[in-house]
Structure formats: C-alpha cells, structure tokens
Amino acid sequence: MAEEKWHDVGSAEDLGERPVTPVRAGTTPIALVCRDGVFTAISGACNHVGGPLGEGRLDGDYVVCPWHHWKFHHRTGEGEPGFEEDRVPSHATKVENGRVFVDANPRTPRHKTPHEPHPLARPLRREPGPVRVAGISTTVMDRANPRYSGSEELLAHAVAHAQQALGAEARLIRLGELSFRACEGYYSKSAKACTWPCSITQMDPADQLDRVYEALVHWADVVLVATPIRWGAASSLYYRMAERMNCIQNQVTTRDRVLIRDKVAGFIVIGGQDNVQAVAGQMLGFFAELGFLFPQFPYVAHSRGWTAEDMEKNVDVLRKSQDLRDGVAALVERCTVLAGRLIASEPTPERVARGGRKAHSLAAGSDPP
C-alpha cells in the first residue's frame, strides 16, 4: 500500500456548509463531499472527458458531474447502478482539530469501462461515388397542416435538379420534421465540455439532429441551406441548428481538428421582407467558420421588400417564377462543379494554421519588428 500523503484542505466548519466542494490534496483534484456531517472524497476528474466533479451536485449517494451528468458514488467512486465498474478513485479523509485532511494517494483505482463509440465518431472518409448533395430546409410550419414555403420549394427543385440532371445523390432534410433539443450551452461550462459528437446527441438517442450531423460531416459533398427571412433574420430553426453546430467548429479550438474538409455550401434566402444581404452574410460567415467552401455567387435570394406586406402576391410570384427555379438549378450546378474539383484534388489537411483563428493565443514577442 502506498504511503499516506495527508493534505489539509480546509476548515471542517466551512467545508461542511456545502454538499460538494472542489479541493486539492497537493496537486490532486478532489471532490469533497459532506453528508450528515461526515466527509468523503473521490477524484475531482470525471471518467468521461475530465469534467470537474467537485463543481457538481449531490444526488442521493452520487456526485453528478456538471458537464455531462455522469454519476459516481460519493464514498466508493463507483458509477451509478448498471455502471458500477466505471469508477473514479476514492480517497481517505479524516478530521483533526477542526481541519479536514484528504489522502492524496487513492485507496481505490480509477477504472474506465470501454464504451462503444457513437457512430458519428468514426473516422472521416469519403466513400466512392458521385457528388452527394444534402438540402436542409429550415422553414417552420405545422406539418400536419402544411402551408406553402417558397424557400423549401426552391430547395426541393434544386435537389431534384441535382439528382435528375447532374447525376448526383441527394437528400432533402426538413428540420421542421425532426425532433431535436436546443443547444444547452456546454461550451459555456468549458470548451472541453462541448464535444464531438455533440454532447446532447451522445446522451439522448431520441435527439434527431444526428441526421444533420451525418449529412454535413460524413455524407455530403454539397450542402444547400434554405431559409425564409423572419424579421430581417434567418428562421428560428436555422439558428437552433446553427447553435448545435458549435461542436463541429469547437473541434478546431480544442483538438486542432477540422471536421469539414473539401465540402461546398450554397444558400437560398427567401423573404417577404428585405435584409437579404445581411441574412446571407451571416450564413456565409458561419459556414466559413465550420470549414465550408463556396462557389462563385453562393446564394440565390428573393424578397418583396419592406413596403410590400402582401404575402399572397409574394407566394404567387414564387409559385410562377421560372427565373428563380433556373437560379437555384444554376446554384446547385456551381456547387457540384466545385465539389467535383475538390474530390479530384488532394485532400485538405485535418489541421490548419491557428494564428488569427478563434481562441488561439498569440505567443509573447510575436509582434513584427
């Protein structure tokens, strides 16, 4: 047995005021628990992705990790029922002269039970075949009582053109038909808490945004995103999806790993009100940060403008406009041509120079003379 290394971690009176407190036994992070006046201690690092257990909460006998809610027994370090073998180290405690001491040497070892990786976590590899086009409609409607959507109809036209005229494989994803949770701010807890695959996707098998992740990261060569304009902005579903895309971009920040490589994006922006360029500009900026490339003239748009509050006429224009249909067909052609060139070229490296990129600190003394 290793020699005991006791460390004074604080006043028993003060530490007894909170159920769970983060402390250090020397350099070892500890989750110190006080329950019914008795102190126990387990490792402060979660088995999952190293979340700070000492900042978690107590749920019965279990410390709940604040990042992804894994649970470990406050005394033994064992996982919750059914996951007992997935355990963190436990540490001995004692109270002397009103002070709490924790032994830095664990009395039980850490054990990580192998978990089957999520299907989205597989290596990135483009399968052989023709150019693949994924259309994503972000319009919101009651699907049981559908209404006409100009952005969705034009997207469907572009996807059909890609299949029938260009020989591409194609999918049309309607976000409004998927059940998925809003982003819950794991990045706000810590950059490392925002994982790939998305933390929600890994924890909630009923969350259907995995279909979008599969299309964007693994399957598609071309992604066409269509949105209506709502009060000068893209649709609420677009932003709901975009917030969940942070896990893709965050891989560059935390792992120096670019998930979106050699993929092309284009956009269809349709609105009864103006602000087309601002909406398209946001979409271009966001998808560029994910790693997408763009063809010449990467979006097609239509708006009736601020003074034309006559949606019936706007719908009529959209239903009849061959120009807009020709426009989105040409857009998907530009996208597939660029995608074909990228497929035929050398693959883009997984890493990118980080200077000037998000969350990259410049080295001291890096200023030019």
Query: What is the Cα–Cα distance from 354 to 351, expressed in whole angstroms?
Result: 9
Report domain extents, the chain: 6-103, 119-344
Query: What is the Cα–Cα distance from 311 to 319, expressed in whole angstroms?
Result: 12
Q: The tokens of 60 are what?
A: 């019965």
- By DSSP bridging, strand 93-96 and strand 90-91 are unpaired
Q: Is 152 left (phi over 0), alpha (psi -120 to 50) or beta?
A: alpha
Asked if the domains 6-103 and 119-344 are classified in one and the same CATH topology, the answer is no
The reported pLDDT for the residue numbered 253 is: 87
| Burial of residue 25 (number of CB atoms within 10 Å: 0-12, 13-18, 19+) | buried
Alpha helices of the chain — where are they, by DSSP H?
Answer: 12-15, 150-164, 186-189, 199-203, 210-213, 236-244, 246-255, 276-290, 311-320, 322-344
The reported pLDDT for the residue numbered 310 is: 65
301 within 8 A of 270, measured Cβ to Cβ: yes
Tell me how many helices (H) and strands (E) the chain has.
Answer: 10, 15
- Say which residues have a Cβ less than 8 Å from residue 359's Cβ, sequence separation at least 6: 191, 253
Specify the CATH class of 119-344 in words. Answer: alpha beta
Sign for the CA dihedral angle at 12, 72, 203, 255 comes to: positive
Bond from prior residue into 66 cis (ω within 30 degrees of 0): no
In terms of CATH architecture, what is 6-103?
3-layer Sandwich (2.102)
The reported pLDDT for the residue numbered 311 is: 65
Question: Which phi and psi angles does 28 have, rounded to 5°?
Answer: -90, 120
The tens place of each residue's pLDDT in the chain, 369 residues long, gives: 567 899 999 999 999 999 999 999 999 999 999 999 999 999 999 999 999 999 999 999 999 999 999 999 999 999 999 999 999 999 999 999 999 999 999 999 999 988 889 999 999 999 999 999 999 999 998 888 888 899 999 999 999 999 999 999 999 999 999 999 999 998 888 888 999 999 999 999 999 999 999 999 999 999 999 999 988 899 999 999 999 999 999 999 888 999 999 999 999 999 877 789 999 999 999 999 999 999 999 999 998 766 666 666 778 888 889 999 999 999 999 999 999 999 999 888 888 787 777 777 766 555 554
The reported pLDDT for the residue numbered 316 is: 81
Residue from 184, 171, 336, 188 nearest 263 by CA? 336
